[in-house]
Structure 1
Amino acid sequence: MSELDRRRFLQNFLGGVAATGMFAGICGAKPLWAQTLDNRDVPDVLKKPIPSTGEMIPAVGMGSWITFNVGNDQELRDQCASVMSVFFAAGGKMIDSSPMYGSAQDVIGYGLDKLGARGRVFATDKVWTSDDGAAQIAQSTARWDIDRFDLLQVHNLLRINDNLSILFDMKDAGKLRYVGVTTSHGRRTDDVIAVMKKESLDFVQVTYNPVDRKVEQYLLPLAQERGIGVIVNRPFRGGSLIDRLQGEALPGFADEIGAKSWAQVILKFLISHPGVTCPIPATTQPSHAAENMAAAKGPLPDDEMRERIAAMIGLL
């Protein structure tokens, strides 16, 4: 990470910590990354069922693309652990990563260790190789420093047949709980649909937000029909959607669903769809982790309000 990028990360992070009043010096407590967490569920957090098993999972998770790729910088690693601390304390469980995300896997493993949070996480990762998938999975497991993953996905359908075979064999052997596939940016939605029809998947991961709605046409109904969970990546279009809405007044109906920010409006739009299991917004700021998790509390928009949300965001 360049010095300029590091300064920007620190500015964003410290601004988020200040906004939440979480400096150790303010309250006399340990820094967030040094605090351990218990395994109790947070009340009132909306949970949604994983269709293939009925297991309930909090309706908002967290991604790690770019945000956790901080290398070996100790200060930044501790700051990422603080983001994780807020996420878990607010009721979050699913954290998603990939071998292609630089140091993100190592940083997640570091945070889990510092927080004593291995019992809290729904560990989600990917296999992303045209070579030895089993070796890559072993390396990812070591980087997270966990016994096994809850969910592994074939990233961007790479070497789909061979890698899916590895994952299904792991699941049959009790070394993996769930199997999925991923795509993003709407690039290969039709290919994902073809795999959904052919394979007994537990999850798919796709891009979806109030602007990118292609998956509503066929993929989400198919997922409901076949009992496949849907993880949503790029819910904020990599942050550009939030940037676009910056300074725009929230609609009056946001109060009806308890939304205090555009991020919460968007997340409530997503999790209100019956075919969506869990969006995974990424962040560098503890305050945003708390804000995102708060979207999994309170009322959700009905179909009519969902259309109003999409129409309004589309016009701004």
Structure 2
Amino acid sequence: MIKQNRRDFIKLSAASLATGICLSPLSLLSAKPLPADKSRLFTKVIPATGEKLPAIGMGSWMTFNVGQDQGARQNCQQILRAFFNGGGTLIDSSPMYGSSEEVIGYCLEQLNRQNKHFSATKVWTPFQSSGVRQIHDSQQLWGVDKIDLMQVHNLLSWEKHLESLEQLKQEGQIKYIGITTSHGRRHEQMEKIMQTRELDFIQLTYNVLDREAESRLLPLAREKGIAVIANRPFQRKALFHRVQGKTLPASAQAIDCHHWAQYFLKFIISHPDISCAIPATSQVAHMQENMAALRGAMPDEKFRAKMLNDIQGI
């Protein structure tokens, strides 16, 4: 397959939107249903390089912050095993998440997956020099040769840290750089940074109820050729509380959904401008439900509108 760079991706995106032609289901701009081939993973394309990325990743906020508790570490190891078995690659963390990076590194070593995944972590400090140390510390904690994606966490001291990240990327020490926000905060500032700096990724909150990013940030990401990671896909647990005791709509069968987690996640990753969603869980069974969203048919635009209407009606 010919590798696609950011410029080619943007041109192809513009042509697709202008003609109304949908691209392949494996492209970032596709929301067409996949064939009902359960062995086929739903992937998206990273615009900067053309690299394919499974559209469900894994968050680690709270769930992997277990310290030296050996029982909890074993549970994390089983969760990560289920993640990989389900086809996942992108693992997201941060120095802010306590012992999560260390525990991820431990689990990767136990599973012999140190360099067989997509590592995404963050720099989170007000000081540039401390940020550079954090980056190297993260690499050691994960036990990897190179961090795939390094992000500025919640835009903290973003000017200083993007300088460092750009330099480290140029030196080949990290592959991709990006910025993050959550809870719908600081969208205007994120938009300005997207307009003026060359980013590979942004991370923001997007789910069936939190859709503020649709108005400006997602279209801008498409225009600029920036991949988008969706955090808080379940509003922590609020979406599950909303549907507690409710059965899935009968129409969910059309997109091969058997659990609410699949339903919520397929809504997110079928958006043409979302590259990956990063649900977090501390239960193996829930991880298996999450990863099931990578397979089967995906909702098109019309079906997504129906899903939205169904959820808003609950």
- Match for residue 44 of structure 2? 48
Contact kept? 2:115, 2:145, Cα under 8 Å:
no
- Match for residue 66 of structure 2? 70
Q: Which amino acid aligns with 1:122?
A: F
- Match for residue 150 of structure 1? 148
SS at match of 1:146: coil
How far did 1:196 drift?
0.6
Contact kept? 1:178, 1:202, Cα under 8 Å:
yes
Match of 2:238 among 234, 237, 240: 240
Instruction: State the TM-score, normalized to the length of structure 2.
Output: 0.86
Q: Which amino acid aligns with 1:100?
A: M
Contact kept? 2:125, 2:156, Cα under 8 Å:
yes
How far did 1:119 drift?
3.1
How far did 1:43 drift?
4.3
Match of 1:141 among 139, 142, 155: 139
- Match for residue 100 of structure 2? 104
How far did 1:120 drift?
2.2
C-alpha deviations, 1:220-266, integer Å up to 9, x for none? 11111110000000000012211221211111110000011111111
- Match for residue 184 of structure 2? 186
Contact kept? 1:88, 1:120, Cα under 8 Å:
no
SS at match of 2:96: coil
CA distance in 1, matches of 2:222, 2:59: 23
SS at match of 2:174: coil
Instruction: State the TM-score, normalized to the length of structure 1.
Output: 0.85
Aligned residues: 275
- Match for residue 128 of structure 1? 124
Report which stretch shifted further, 111-120 or 273-282. Answer: 111-120
CA distance in 2, matches of 1:183, 1:165: 19
Contact kept? 1:223, 1:275, Cα under 8 Å:
yes
How far did 1:89 drift?
1.0
How far did 1:314 drift?
2.0
CA distance in 2, matches of 1:256, 1:210: 18
1:201 paired with 2:233, answer no
Q: Which amino acid aligns with 2:42?
A: L
CA distance in 1, matches of 2:184, 2:99: 26
**Superposition RMSD in Å:** 1.1
Q: Which amino acid aligns with 1:69?
A: N
SS at match of 1:238: coil
Contact kept? 1:272, 1:300, Cα under 8 Å:
yes
CA distance in 1, matches of 2:189, 2:76: 34
C-alpha deviations, 1:145-191, integer Å up to 9, x for none? 21210000000000011100110101000001000000000011111
Question: Percent identity between the aligned chains?
Answer: 48
Q: Which runs of 5+ in 2 are unaligned?
A: 1-37
Contact kept? 1:183, 1:206, Cα under 8 Å:
yes
C-alpha deviations, 1:27-81, integer Å up to 9, x for none? xxxxxxxxxxxxxxx9411111001111001010000001111111011011101
Counterparts in 2 of 1:10-21, with a 5 A limit? none
CA distance in 2, matches of 1:81, 1:289: 12
- Match for residue 277 of structure 2? 279
CA distance in 2, matches of 1:200, 1:232: 19
Q: Which amino acid aligns with 1:49?
A: V
Q: Which amino acid aligns with 1:172?
A: Q
- Match for residue 84 of structure 2? 88
Contact kept? 2:39, 2:295, Cα under 8 Å:
no
- Match for residue 215 of structure 1? 213
SS at match of 1:44: coil
How far did 1:288 drift?
1.2
CA distance in 1, matches of 2:312, 2:135: 40
- Cα separation, partners in 2 of 1:73 and 1:210, compared to 1, 3 Å: same
